Amino acid sequence: MNPMIRRGLFAVSAVTFASLLCVPAASAAGLSYTESEPATAAGRNDSPAAAQRLYALGTAGWQQSTATVHGTLSPTPVAITTGAEDNGSLDLATATGIGSGVSAITTSGQLGDGPHGDLGDKTGDFDFYKLSGTAGQTVTVSTAGSAASTNTVVGLYDGSGVLLASDDNSGGGLAGKLTYALTATGDYYVVVAGESAAGSLPADPHNSGSGHGGAETGAYQLLIASAPADKDFYAVQLVKGDVLGGSLATGGKRLTVVKPDGTQAVSSGLVTSTKLPASSPLPRGAVDLAYVADRSGWYSVSVTDGFGPYDLTLGTFRPGTESAAAPQTFFLDFDGGQIDTTPLGGSGVKQLSGLAAYLPNWGLTAADESAVIDKVVAVVSENVKSDLRARSSNPNVDVRIRNSRDDADTFGSAGVSRVVIGGGTAESGIGRIGSAQSIDPGNFAQQETALVQLDRISAAGGASSINRYLTADSNRIAFVGQAIGNLVSREIGHLAGDYDTDPASPVANLMDADGNFPALYGVGADGIGGTADDVDVDFAKDAYNPALGLTGTQDTLNVAAWGLTEPCN
């Protein structure tokens, strides 16, 4: 085991050696920072090069592990009162004051309460707002603060009533959001409307009764701004393996991590922490993210897409396994039996069939079970142990692979997680092939459950069936074991902190989401599984799965490697 040393103030820059050393824990007491850029200004910390450095935040013994930054995305919106109904046309629009000493406003309104709403002629209630803009300015309109059930559409008209832009759901959920660069100076009008299958916006913006009927109703929160978009950057010094978490409250709507080389690591405009285990110290919020550093240096975190005050919470932590009581062990359970599916989103204890019950579906017999298990264990051991040790930035990977054929079941002991390989939807009530109890960047919970179900992958047909790639030329044992081993490795990747990657990208990655099964199973160019040209699929750098709402490139190899690091004690 490498000796522990404490990095002093002047030693932090010598990060080349830090990845070889166990790093003593930073203080848990939180820091409080105030943005150095004045609340009424913009442009002073709007790039990674100009980022405000948070020197005392980090994982060294002299630093503290958490900080809250109180900042402002200028300009701060002014709250106004929505005008009295009827304000459903350009000529009846509520004045915002934007362009006359005000740059941004917020207000609340109600769709369906006007003379053309639910209690009127039901043609549709529209709320219009007037502002003045200058050529070159950008107008932002958003109902992102509205209740999740309010389905709003927003639009922007010029002074003559020409629709310049509109949006339905870009604000997240059912909220509308648009940005528009003004090409001329003059008056402009924002409309908020309820979505309607017959047409959400008025046929004539000068006529408040020109709706198409059937519009949805409800309360909404509205932001309108006509100003340059402010963005604030904060710099944090990370060491290889550090786990950085961030969350936003109030003003900002997007968090982005930028690497030391200036490239984007990850960007989030939504909640990503729903699968974090309770033991994870990473911050959680309406907008949050997590990132595992694959190199040492200064990383930047930006707050964008909003106006007004915000609270940014940042946390920097060493991987949970560094301070664990024992190295991480994964127990591969091929026997089935009674499994509590609750941690996987199921409804309690279920009886699952083991691997043996599915072998005939692949043309295999009971006599082949041991050979299949050998192949699965070998594939998993290569993916989550040998490859991580050989190719990652962590020289201290330590993970144990055990199985139900050869080893006692120690699930429940310190550092032991279980991957159940068996069962199907009819038995478990879970519709996914693979399920992991958590997605845990830093691996702060080492006693969890994952499941790889065998019904769909052993079916006679279907997109996910291994049988699609089996022919008379196939080594069936080798290919079945390879495919199952890759699926098991993917669920272990989740438990070690990896998110799904993009199955449509050209990169074959163990963390690819469902959809590109030939690549995930390692089918070669001949389209047949279990032949000489089969592909060794590994953890790799790849784009996040777009369905997650995250953008950037995830280094799944190093995320997993640092989540499976050797304990320091």
CATH number of the structural domain spanning residue 32? 2.60.120.380
CB half-sphere exposure, 459, CA atoms < 13 A: 13
- Say how many domains are in the chain: 3
The domain boundary residue, chosen from 261, 293, 318: 318
- Does residue 135 sit in the same domain as residue 108? yes
In a domain, 43, yes or no: yes
User: Looking at residue 298, what is its pLDDT?
Assistant: 98
The domain boundary residue, chosen from 226, 250, 278: 226
- Listed in sequence order, the residues at least 6 apart from 408 whose beta carbon sits closer than 8 Å to its beta carbon are none
The domain boundary residue, chosen from 226, 244, 260: 226
- Does residue 304 sit in the same domain as residue 424? no
In a domain, 8, yes or no: no
Across the chain, which distance is largest between two alpha carbons, in Å? 83
- Does residue 374 sit in the same domain as residue 253? no
CA–centroid distance for 197 within its chain: 31
In a domain, 421, yes or no: yes
DSSP result, 338-390: EEE-GGGT--SEEEE--GGGGGGGGT--GGGHHHHHHHHHHHHHIIIIIHHHH
In a domain, 3, yes or no: no
In a domain, 543, yes or no: yes
DSSP result, 508-568: --TTBPTT-HHHHHT--TTS-SSSTT-------EEEBPGGGTEEEEEEHHHHHHHHTBPP-
- Does residue 66 sit in the same domain as residue 82? no
- Does residue 239 sit in the same domain as residue 207? no
Domain that holds residue 444: 323-563
User: Looking at residue 265, what is its pLDDT?
Assistant: 96
- Listed in sequence order, the residues at least 6 apart from 261 whose beta carbon sits closer than 8 Å to its beta carbon are none
Digits of tens for pLDDT over the chain (569 positions)? Answer: 333 332 333 333 334 333 445 766 677 668 999 988 887 777 788 899 999 999 999 999 899 999 999 999 988 899 998 878 899 999 999 999 999 989 999 999 999 998 998 889 999 999 999 999 999 999 999 998 788 889 999 999 999 999 999 999 887 779 999 999 999 999 999 999 999 999 999 999 999 999 999 999 999 999 999 987 789 999 999 999 999 999 998 777 899 999 999 999 999 988 899 999 999 999 999 899 999 999 999 999 999 988 889 999 999 999 999 999 999 999 999 999 899 999 999 999 999 999 999 999 999 999 999 999 999 999 999 999 999 999 999 999 999 999 999 999 999 899 999 999 999 999 999 999 999 999 999 999 999 999 999 999 999 999 999 999 999 999 999 999 999 999 999 999 999 999 999 999 999 899 998 878 999 999 999 999 999 999 999 999 999 998 888 999 999 999 999 999 999 87
- Does residue 87 sit in the same domain as residue 25? no
- Does residue 455 sit in the same domain as residue 534? yes
The alpha carbon dihedral of 114, 118, 122, 125 has a sign of positive
- Does residue 179 sit in the same domain as residue 253? no
- Does residue 221 sit in the same domain as residue 108? yes
Rounded-to-integer distance, Cα 255 and Cα 313, Å: 11
- Does residue 60 sit in the same domain as residue 189? no
Q: What is the DSSP letter of 397?
A: B
Smallest CA-to-CA distance from 559 within 294, 280, 298, 261 is with 294
In a domain, 552, yes or no: yes
In a domain, 1, yes or no: no
- Does residue 85 sit in the same domain as residue 56? no
- Does residue 116 sit in the same domain as residue 164? yes
Can you list the pairs that 372-376 forms with residues at least 24 positions away whose Cβ atoms lie under 8 Å? 372/477, 372/480, 372/481, 372/484, 373/334, 373/403, 373/405, 373/481, 374/481, 375/477, 375/478, 375/480, 375/481, 375/482, 375/485, 376/332, 376/334, 376/421, 376/481, 376/484, 376/485, 376/488
Rounded-to-integer distance, Cα 122 and Cα 115, Å: 8
In a domain, 6, yes or no: no
Smallest CA-to-CA distance from 150 within 109, 203, 117 is with 109
User: Looking at residue 24, what is its pLDDT?
Assistant: 65
pTM for this entry: 0.85
Which contiguous run of DSSP H or E holds residue 141?
strand 138-142
User: Looking at residue 513, what is its pLDDT?
Assistant: 87
**Which neighbouring-strand residues pair with 316?**
244
Smallest CA-to-CA distance from 231 within 248, 216, 211 is with 248
